[in-house]
Amino acid sequence: MGGATFPTHVKLSPPQDKPIDVLLVNGAECEPYLTADHRIMLEKPEQVITGVKAIMKVLGVEKGYIAIEKNKPDAIEVMQKAASAEEGI
């Protein structure tokens, strides 16, 4: 939930007049040699899914997507498997 010091509480508190209908989770690295997001998706996919479900509940949305770079096929495979039994992800 980081992102250039943009506060998490702002991300989870949308304005009343701008409802959110979908959650997009950024699984892409911001720098070419960073691997934190990639490793988390490979090593702790269930925890990622649990977090996605929690944020979906807080925001009141029924659909969530995890965006993963196409050059990370192993992470795509692991996350697809982890999300396969989850409705809306």
pLDDT tens for residues 44-66?
A: 999 999 999 999 998 899 999 99
**Percent of the chain surpassing pLDDT 70:** 96
First vs last Cα of the chain: how many Å apart? 18
In total, the chain counts a number of residues equal to: 89
Residue 3: is its pLDDT beyond 80?
no
Helix H or strand E segment including 64 = strand 63-67
CA torsion, points 16, 24, 52, 48, in degrees to nearest 10?
A: -150
